[in-house]
Amino acid sequence: METVSEFLNILADTLIEFTKKTQILNRALLKLSVKDLLGDKNPDTLKFNEWIKVIEDPLKKRLERTKTTNIGTVINKLKEVAQKNQSLITMAQV
């Protein structure tokens, strides 16, 4: 769904500041984190609380493996951005 894709883009753009990677690589990192937590579940069907779990656990672990610094700050910023854009996920559920 377009709204979930937009949500992914927003999170990926937020990650650029911290990872110095492209949006495409950050989107892949997010999608792999979804897969780590939920297997083959389509990101388009995730509820907001599942996105927060993805950010807090598998994404955090992946960022640690990539030697990203200030991971606590990164996670807090992503959760803040996700909260501000929660309506995109809500609209996708309708």
Average pLDDT over every residue of 16-43? 92
What is the residue-wise DSSP string for 65-78?
HTT-S-HHHHHHHH
The pLDDT value given to residue 92: 60
Residue 71: how many other CB atoms lie within 10 Å? 16
Instruction: Output the six-digit token pair for 44.
Output: 């388009």
What confidence tens digit (pLDDT) does each residue in 35-67 have? 999 898 888 888 899 999 999 999 999 999 998
Q: What is the mean pLDDT of the chain?
A: 91
Beta-carbon contacts of 86 under 8 Å, excluding residues fewer than 6 positions away, are 48
The pLDDT value given to residue 42: 83
Residue ranges of the domains in the chain?
2-93
The pLDDT value given to residue 79: 97
